[in-house]
Structure 1
């Protein structure tokens, strides 16, 4: 079997946006819930555009070329974190911050990336794109309605996304560790 790596394409968040979200998560009460909620480290916060999963190492160049080709036709995206909620079942899932701003253009970017990556023979997830930042993972049955409602009132700082980032994800006992494979700027 050829060596491979878990890859995904994402947008990074600037420090001021992460700081605002960290403060909102703390005010929501999620930081005090207990073992049923595992907080995502702010250093790992990002907006996933396309999750590729396991990719042969020899295909990395094709992934980067696809990313460069698509990003060359996209200008920067004006975005803001706003609102939030919970996804998943009563026994688990995630708590997230939502996204506003150029989300329609962001959706078109995601569709173009998926098409380009499929053309080079890669399997790409088919579920509907839902722009968000995961702030916590939930295990077991726990009522987070008050915390999620408070997070839902969040409105963060606006920022302009100027690049897409290809990340490698390595699973460990503590969750996942991410490392940058490539940064690809948007046009203009």
Structure 2
């Protein structure tokens, strides 16, 4: 852990099962051939389902966050989730973020997210203004992508079939540290709580 007074960039998320990571790696490889370097892909091992992005966090606060996370997961149910296609933010024709969708027991997932939101607000973070839209970010489109590359990428996303996998029930929530580097973000697990 960092020394007293250090600030960390943190978030709380659900780690993915190996089967999902392997499939997302295949999808990224397929889309990368159409992107021609116009997308910064997330390392498959770093893909996760974010419940709350905390951003700047005093390193000394991490034990308290973990204590509250443990309390917030007490009695929580694990939703049955499945992968469900690809999408983009803000829209299909002007993608900035490429994501894999999540379907299944979204009400139970929203309950987990709300528990995490409540703990964050209780520790002084601002409440999220946007509604929770569960997704797995797999890539970010670079500013310098040409219109032709963008069209190829949009077509590849539209044509990419996401195979149906067995549903997955997350068994843990983690507090992650995120370090931004020129080669992409590096995520470090600071602690885990069972669901």
**1:44 corresponding residue in structure 2:** 46
SS of 2:130 mapped into structure 1: coil
SS of 2:174 mapped into structure 1: strand
**C-alpha deviation, 1:172, in angstroms:** 1.1
Q: Is the 8 A contact 1:76 1:162 kept in 2?
A: yes
Superposition CA RMSD, Å: 2.1
Instruction: Return closer, same or farther for 1:72/1:94 CA change in 2, 3 Å cut-off.
Output: same
Structure 2's unaligned 5+ residue stretches are none
**1:106 corresponding residue in structure 2:** 109
Instruction: Return closer, same or farther for 1:85/1:128 CA change in 2, 3 Å cut-off.
Output: same
**1:34 corresponding residue in structure 2:** 36
The answer to whether residue 139 in structure 2 is matched with residue 130 in structure 1 is: no
Q: Is the 8 A contact 2:96 2:140 kept in 1?
A: yes
**C-alpha deviation, 1:47, in angstroms:** 0.6
CA distance in 2 between counterparts of 1:155 and 1:137 reads 24
**C-alpha deviation, 1:122, in angstroms:** 2.7
The answer to whether residue 180 in structure 2 is matched with residue 179 in structure 1 is: no
Q: Is the 8 A contact 1:82 1:152 kept in 2?
A: no
The answer to whether residue 151 in structure 2 is matched with residue 151 in structure 1 is: no
With the length of structure 1 as denominator, give the TM-score of the two structures.
0.88
| Residue in structure 2 matching 1:77, options 53, 64, 79 | 79
Instruction: Return closer, same or farther for 1:92/1:100 CA change in 2, 3 Å cut-off.
Output: closer
Q: Is the 8 A contact 1:163 1:185 kept in 2?
A: yes
The answer to whether residue 1 in structure 2 is matched with residue 4 in structure 1 is: no
Structure 1's unaligned 5+ residue stretches are none
Instruction: Return closer, same or farther for 1:37/1:15 CA change in 2, 3 Å cut-off.
Output: same
SS of 2:107 mapped into structure 1: helix
Instruction: Return closer, same or farther for 1:47/1:19 CA change in 2, 3 Å cut-off.
Output: same
The structure carrying a bigger strand percent of its residues is: 1
